[in-house]
Amino acid sequence: MRADCAKAVLLAGLAMALPSNIFAADCQMAVSAQEALVFSRPAAGSVIKEFGDQYDEMSKSKRFHGGVDLEGPEGEQVYAARSGKVAEAGKKGDLGLYVRIAHGSGVETGYGHLSAISVSAGECITGGRQIGKIGATGKTSAPQLHFEVLRDGKPVNPLDFLQ
């Protein structure tokens, strides 16, 4: 990747580097971290795996879980937790089909294990818009939504910010 590229995006199965100025101010971006850290629930399911150190059944070891997993039936709609710009949409390792949305002020949300994605990288979206469907892609044993909140690239507990 070139040194002047600040964001990496997965599009149509290919990794692409986009210049940082592609995330222009034409989207509804938060002007402060306090504003950016207020989210609607992205899916209706109950929390089945919490944020933080957890015993991982698949690896049989303790691992850090950087989000929460919400149960839900395969194909149930997943919604953007707030307005922003889609920074990434595609496959992402253990998270399977994945969407990451930038909300401004260094705050991003991620949505993993999706069965389908209905947004594209670079697209401006409003909070509450469908972005995909619950699935079982990546490393998971059942359909669920992995929901994560990143602040300056570091995971924080999403349950602290859901309304």
- 42-56 pLDDT, tens per residue? 999 999 999 998 887
Residue 34's pLDDT band, with cuts at 50, 70 and 90, is confident
* CB of 8 closer than 8 Å to CB of 17: yes
Distance CA 134, CA 137 (A): 9
**For the chain, percent of residues with pLDDT exceeding 90:** 69
pLDDT given at position 23: 43
Taking all residues of the chain, what is their mean pLDDT, rounded to a whole number? 86
Percent of all residues in the chain with a pLDDT value above 70, rounded to a whole number? 85
Q: What is the pLDDT of residue 50?
A: 92
> What local confidence, expressed as pLDDT, does residue 151 receive?
96
Residue 131, pLDDT > 90, answer yes
Residue type for position 138 = G
Helix (H, G, I), strand (E, B) or coil at 20: helix
The band of 16, judged by pLDDT with boundaries at 50, 70 and 90, is: very low
Task: Give tens-digit pLDDT for 58-89.
Answer: 778 898 989 999 999 999 999 999 999 999 99
Instruction: Tell whether the model's pLDDT for residue 7 goes beyond 80.
Output: no
Domains and CATH numbers, the chain: 24-160 (2.70.70.10)
CA 21 to centroid of chain Cα atoms:
21
Which three-class secondary structure state does DSSP give residue 159?
helix
Query: How many CB atoms lie under 10 A from the CB of residue 53?
Result: 10
Radius of gyration of the chain (CA): 15
Taking residue 73's Cβ as centre, other Cβ atoms within 10 Å add up to 11
Q: In the block, which residue shows the tokens 């149930």?
A: 76
- What are the pLDDT digits (tens) for 87-113? 999 999 999 999 999 999 999 999 999
